[in-house]
Structures are given as C-alpha cells and as structure tokens.
Amino acid sequence: MRKLSKLTLTTAIAAVLALGVTSCGEKTPKLTESQMLIQDVETGNVLLDKWSGPYGGVPPWDKIEVANFTPSLNTAFDMARAETNKIADNEAAPNFDNTIIAMEKSGAALNRAATIFFVYASNLNKGEIPSILKEMSPKFSQLSDEINQNPKLFARVKAVYENMDGLNTEQKRLVKNYYDGFVRQGATLNDEDKAKMSKINARLATLTNQFGQNVLHDEESYVTFIEDEAGLAGLPDWLKTSMASAAKANGKEGQWAITNTRSSMDPFLTYSDNRAMREKVWNTYYNRGDNGDKWDNNKIITEILQLRDQRAKLLGYKTHAHWKLENQMAKTPENAIALMEKVWPHAIGRAKEEVAEMQAIADAEGVFIKIAPWDYRYYAEKVRKAKYDLDLNEVKPYLQMEKLREGMMWAAGQLYGFQFEQIEDVPVFHEDVRVWEVKDADGKHVGLWYFDPYARKGKRSGAWMNAYRTQQKLDGKATTVIVSNNSNFVKGEDGKPVLISWDDANTMFHEFGHAIHGLNSNVTYPSLSGTSVSRDYVEFPSQLYERWMTTPEVLNKYAVHYETGKPIPEQLLAKIKKASTFRQGFDTTEYLASALIDMKLHMAGGDPIDPDKFERETLAALDMPSEIVMRHRTPHFNHIFSGGYHAGYYSYLWADTLTADAAEAFVEAGSFYDKDTAARLKNCIMSVGNTIDPADGFKCFRGRDVEVEALMRDRGFAKPK
C-alpha cells in the first residue's frame, strides 16, 4: 500500500521547489513571477528549513525533538496561509506562472514539517505523539478548507483554467487538476455551505485519527502468550524462534508470543495443532476495534459515514462513493461494482470447493468438526500438502529477508538500470532504518531509499511506502527523490537471518514497486510526480512488480537456503508453480468481501447504521461462505476509516486487472527482462506520473485497452490461453 502523505490529502499545497540562496557578492538571477511571490526562506527551525547535507539535502532526523512538533507545525500553517493569501491577493492578471506555479511552490515549510511529523507518527507513535496527532489533524483540515474555499484564489485558478492557450499537455493537466480539486472541495459553494463543509471536515479529521489510534491500541494491548512447549504443537522451528523473540520484546522471556498483527497471526493459524488456541488468536485479531470498550470503533464508523454522506450531498453528489470515484480510473461506483461482481461468483464458488476439500481431510482424521474460520488456514495447508505435495515449511528456509531485498534491487537494475549502494552518512529516526543511494545506469544520482523492516511499539501495522521528497524539475532544476519502505517483520535472534513467508516476500516486492514508481518519475511539476496518480491506478505498478519475485532469475540467485546457500530446488519450484492458484477462493473472497462492504457502506446514504449488523447482513446477502471473514472487518478497516481508501478498496482488484494484462505482455515477449517491453513500461507508465490519463498510459504500453480476461486466467477462474 502506498501511504499518501497527510499534506497531500489535507491541503491543496503540493511539494515545492527549494530555491537556492544567493551568496553575498554574486549577481542575483532574474526572478520569475512565481519566485517573486513565493520565496523559500530560512527560519532557523530545523523542521521548517530546507534539508541540508548530501544528496540534495536529507531529513534531519538527528535533530528532531518531539516538543518542537506543535510550535513548528503551527508556524508552518501561518506561513502557508500567508503564501496562499499572497497569491490570491496578487493584483496582476492571473496566469499560469503567477497562480498555478506559485501554488506549486507554496507551502514548502509546511510540506517539510508535515512529512517529518507524519513519518515519525507512523513509526514512533508513542509518548506525546497521539496527543499531537489529535490536536493537529483538525488544523490540517482547517487550512485545506481555507485554501480551497478562498474565493479570490479560486477565481484566479478558474481564470487560468478557462484560458489555457499556449500551455503544453502537462501544464493543461496540472491546471485542470487544480481546478477540479477546488470544485471538489467546495470552492463553488455559498458561504453557509462552505461553513458546514469546514465543520464536517474538521470533525472527520478528528474521528479518522481516533479510529486509527483505537486500532493501534488493540494491536499493542492484546498479545497472546504461550507458557509451555506443549502449546507449540505443529509449529515449525522458525515460527517458534520468532515467537520467542516477540515474547522477549514484550517482557516475557522464556515464553512464546503471538502479537495482534497479521504477520504473527497468519502463520500461527496455519500451523498450530491447538484448535482452541487458534480460535483465541483468531478472535483476538478479528475483533480489533470491536470489543465494546472505550476503544471500540462502531460509533465512530457510524458518524464518519454520516458526515461523508452529508459532505457529498453538499457538493451535489448522490453518495460519497460517487464523489470519490469521479476522478478515479473507474469513474463511477457502478463500474467498480460491476468488476467485483464479475469476479465474486468465481471466488465464492472456488472457496466452497476449497472448504469441501478441507472438510474431507478433517473427516478422514476423525476430528468431527465443521471447518470454522480459525481452521481455514490450518486445513488449507494440509490440502496443499496432499494435493500438491507442497509444504511451505520447505520453502521458508530459502526466503531470507536480506537476500530477497538484494533480489528486488537486482531486478530493478535489470529493468531500469538502477544501482543501489548502502550509505551511512545520513541520519535516521531509528537504529533499524538503513539507507541506500540510488543511481541510474550512467552513475547519476537518482535518489535515496530508506528501509525500515521491523515491528516495534508505536509502529502502525502492515507495510507501506512513503515519499519524503518527490521528483520535479521546476525552473529547470532537478530535485531528486527520497522514498521509504516500511514493514513489520519480527526480528530474529542476533546474527541469524530473518526468514519470511512467501506472502511477506510478495509484499516486500509490492511495496518496493511503489518506491521504484517514485524513483522512475521524470516530470516537471511536483503535484504530478511519481505515485501522485489516481487511487485505483497507483497499486498497478506495485502489484506488477510482485511478478519479478517469482522469476527464475531472482529465485535461483536470491531465494537461497540460509544454511547451505543453495537455491530452491527445481522440483520444489515446480510444485510452487503448480500450486500458484491454490487458495484463490479464500484470498479473493476475503479481499472482495472487504471491497464490497467498503463500497456498499459508502453508497448506503446518510441514515445511521449499526456497523456490525450491516456487515453481517450484507455478507449474508452476498452468500459469503461462513468459513471466511473479510480481510479487514469494518471496526478495524484502517484503509477506509483512517486512510485514503474509503470507497476505494476496490482499487486493488482494478489495479490487478491492469497487472494481469500487463504481465502477459512480458510473457508474450518471452521474458520478464525483455529490454524493449521494460523500456515501454518505463516510458508509458513508470516515469509519467499523473501527466497523462492512466487509461492512455496503459494503452501506450499495451497497444490497446485493458482486458479483464487476463485477470480471470491469472486467478485460475478461466482457461489459459
């Protein structure tokens, strides 16, 4: 998942150009209109000032003090207000340079301070950080409303929008994005409705922050401990080792812990012979945010949905979903639902077949149970062994996190010419974080990649990519990229490699796909740069990059046994390939259930709902198999209630449709390392950001519009070509 920066989500200010300071005695260059309006001044405040040091400047993590966040952000808000007011009050006739480019350059100090703050809060959310988040979230919303509802500022943007003669394609798209953004955020409302919308936005900022804090509380507060080895029956050694490390980290050395995260829960449910313990761990995980206590999210969900619906109707939309999808690739919720409903019957049909196979094994073992959700992974693994003679425990010793990290870098080098060199001359926010310089094939500096792989207290769950600094070429000056990938792997014993699951390895490549999307960017304007594309397109480059993990070139060289150094045997690889569509019923159903609930929640209107009841009744109407639950149950669905995927979780399926079709282009070329196909991917998709319509970008790469049949083949729901 690409985590959009809060600044991009809550204000109309994009990343900006850091203008150089002219030394005393040098001739001052002629300033453009936008430079005369907006100058990036030095304040003496480390959070606000331009980043210094090597590589075009780096985040000053070694100088960050939590106590400085609140006053610095408040100062940055005032600076951003002054800058945008200066643009709005400019007496010169509005044009592209003094309005649009000036806005691209405004908010530089706020962009830097917010980037540091939100990265810090995602990874070290403890101490005073939750209180600061609670205080600051409404202020970001307030500033966004002030900018988007400023009538003089909108009038200037509208004037440029209505006269784009002489602008090139990229400039026209930039202007249109600004104009549409103002309209979608209430610029055309009357004063009374603008006030209503601002009140709604402020309340939503508070609620969505609280939702995420509640989920984080339940993830950190509910840890399941096993006190004796009898409770470890069925667990492989690598899992017992990681559980022992987790217990030690939670103050229970000598015991074993299952933390309340997917990366800990999933393998335990897959291998544990203890059904009662599986049920306990399952309930603990899937009841996050739904425990009827002060951290319960159900009332928050109801209010969020009502407020989003009220806002959509103020803006003239039928529902929040219609507002959200208007500027996405899908365009309408009906289009998104049509794709999901095409896949859904195949998914639940396959799931029912999977359950029948599992039930047959359980019956043969004489355990006399009916497969329940906490049994699915356990018996699915038995089916995998019986049907494909594949035990993923055989694969695990070959999946070293560090070797796979090398593999994904190597593949990026083959495709795009990137070279990665680890560096130690930049500060980081935690000792676990490491940094690599990225260069192109000619040795020219491209950017930096930060890697933060391990779980810790205060770190949000899951895996994501952040953009610290986006690529841009305003005024002809190149600003290089800084991106990061963050994961939640459990640290192993000192000196021993961290072994990860096949799914976690895919996730590593996925998130790195977001990073190289940003690193490949080659556009002029920061708000069109890198991953700043529609929500249902941004996951396409990252999902596509997962395909390189399973190429023979990566597996043979980097999926090597942690003790012997030998690659995965061909016989085992053949089994993995044969089982490639195994458990697609489960995987597709649990995902689609979440995506459909998301869309239906946001199309339900403004009447108050009981989230648990809505979830239960909607899934029943969809004929959801009782043995499977949503991947993200409503009370802990961070993507849609504290992130940017509301009415947008369908995006992963939409992007996977593009992915499956694009992957077949490499298959047709004869290799996933075909130079011509890789160059076309870079030129049509990876480098263009949001400068062109994504449908046009895909057509440029594929030579035609996307076809859904590739997705159905990919998931084993249709016959191969």
| Selected catalytic residue, list 511, 539, 546, 615 | 511
Per the structure, the count of domains in the chain is 3
CA atoms within 13 A on the CB side of 716: 16
Is there a domain that residue 492 lies in? yes
pLDDT tens sequence across 297-317? 999 999 999 999 999 999 999
Q: DSSP of 501-523, one letter per residue?
A: -HHHHHHHHHHHHHHHHHHT---
Is there a domain that residue 571 lies in? yes
Could you give the CA distance from residue 303 to residue 295 in angstroms, rounded to a whole number?
15
Q: What pLDDT shows up at residue 5?
A: 39
Is there a domain that residue 112 lies in? yes
Could you give the CA distance from residue 681 to residue 454 in angstroms, rounded to a whole number?
32
Rg, C-alpha atoms of the chain: 25
- CATH assignment of the domain containing 174: 1.10.1370.40
Tell whether 171 and 233 lie within a shared domain: no
Tell whether 107 and 164 lie within a shared domain: yes
Q: Is 381 a catalytic site residue?
A: no
Find where tokens 């919720």 sit: 333
Q: What pLDDT shows up at residue 27?
A: 39
Tell whether 104 and 252 lie within a shared domain: no
Tell whether 248 and 144 lie within a shared domain: no
Range of the domain at 265: 222-286
Domain end position, chosen among 268, 286, 304: 286
Tell whether 170 and 248 lie within a shared domain: no
Tell whether 228 and 179 lie within a shared domain: no
Tell whether 179 and 232 lie within a shared domain: no
Domain end position, chosen among 522, 545, 578: 578
Q: What pLDDT shows up at residue 8?
A: 35
Which DSSP letter does residue 418 get?
-
Find where tokens 């993830």 sit: 219
Q: Which of 351, 352, 378 is nearest to 365 (CA)?
A: 378
Could you give the CA distance from residue 518 to residue 446 in angstroms, rounded to a whole number?
10
Q: What pLDDT shows up at residue 30?
A: 53
Could you give the CA distance from residue 511 to residue 536 in angstroms, rounded to a whole number?
16
Q: What pLDDT shows up at residue 2?
A: 59
Tell whether 177 and 49 lie within a shared domain: yes
Q: What pLDDT shows up at residue 491?
A: 86
Tell whether 82 and 229 lie within a shared domain: no
Tell whether 173 and 233 lie within a shared domain: no
pLDDT tens sequence across 105-149? 999 999 999 999 999 999 999 999 999 999 999 999 999 999 999
Tell whether 124 and 254 lie within a shared domain: no
Q: What pLDDT shows up at residue 98?
A: 96
Is there a domain that residue 107 lies in? yes
Domain end position, chosen among 259, 286, 313: 286
Burial classification of residue 712, based on how many CB atoms lie within 10 Å of its CB (0-12 exposed, 13-18 middle, 19 or more buried): middle
pLDDT tens sequence across 331-382? 999 999 999 999 999 999 999 999 999 999 999 999 999 999 999 999 999 9
Q: What pLDDT shows up at residue 35?
A: 67
Is there a domain that residue 103 lies in? yes
- Residues of the chain scoring pLDDT < 50: 4-29
Beta partners for residue 464, in sequence order = 486
